[in-house]
A = this chain, B = another copy of it.
Amino acid sequence: MPNPNAAMLVIGDEILSGRTRDANMHHLAGVLTERGIDLREVRIVSDDHKAIVAAVRALSRAYDHVFTSGGIGPTHDDITADAVAEAMGAAIDVRDDARALLEAHYARLDQELNAARMRMARIPDGAALIDNPISAAPGFTIGNVHVMAGVPTIFQAMVDSLIPRLTGGVPLVSATVRIKRGEGDIAAPLGDLSRAYPDLRFGSYPFIREGVFGSNIVIRGSDAGQVDAAEQELRALFPGAAT
C-alpha cells in the first residue's frame, strides 16, 4: 500500500511580505517524513477569507491529509477557523468543550476570558480538538483537515499531540553523497543509476562553495538495503570527488 500523502497550508501575510521566514513547514516536513506520510505540496496564502477557503477545498480533495498553520488566535486577522468551516461545509460557533478549556486556563492565570479570547473557542461542528499544552486554545481536526496555530512552539506542541493519532506509512530512508563535480559531469551516470533503481528517488541539489561547483545527491527509498547499494555504486563512480 502506498504511504498516505499530505499537503500543508500556511496562512499569514507575514511570510508573503518577507517579514518572517516560515519555520513550521520545515518542522512538519521532517516529522511527516519520519512518520511515512508523504508531504507532496505546500501552499502559503495571505489572511484572506476567500483564498483560505479555496485552498482548503482544493487540498482537502487532492490529499489524504491537510495540515494548516496560523490564523487561529484572538485578533481580527485570525480568520482560519471560520474559513475552514466554510470550506468543509460545517457550521461554526463557540463550543462548550473549547470554552471550558479556555475558562480553566484564564482562571488559572487570573486573566479575563474576554470576547476576543472567546473567539478562540469557535470550533466547527463535528471537529475533534487538538490539545494545546502551552496556551490552552485548541486546534482541531475536521474531516482530513488539521488546523493548528502559527506560533512555532504551539504549532510543534500541537503536531506532537496530533501525529500519534494518524496512520503512518513506511518511513523513507535516505543517503546523501556530496560530490565535488559540476552537475553537468554527474548528470549522465546519475541518470543511468536512477534507471537501474526504479524504486528509489535520486535528487541532485547543486551548490557553489568558494567558487567550486558541486552537488549533494540524495537517494531516497523505503528499502534501506537498496539505498545502501545505490549509495555504494554512486561513490564508486566518483572516486576522490565523493564525500
Contact = CB atoms under 8 A, between A and B. Distances in A.
Contact of A188 (B14, B115, B203): B115
A130 interface: no
B17 A26 contact: no
Interface stretch (A33-41, A89-97, A139-147): A33-41
A227 to B, nearest CB: 14
Copies of this chain present in the complex amount to: 2
Interface range, A side? 35 or more
A75 B220 contact: no
B17 A76 contact: no
Interface of A: 12-22, 25-33, 39-47, 51, 73-78, 111, 114-117, 119-120, 134-135, 150-151, 153-154, 172, 174, 182-188, 190-191, 194, 201-208, 213, 215, 218, 220
17 contacts: A16-B41, A17-B172, A17-B218, A18-B32, A19-B205, A42-B44, A43-B43, A73-B204, A74-B187, A75-B183, A76-B191, A76-B202, A77-B203, A78-B204, A114-B185, A117-B187, A151-B207
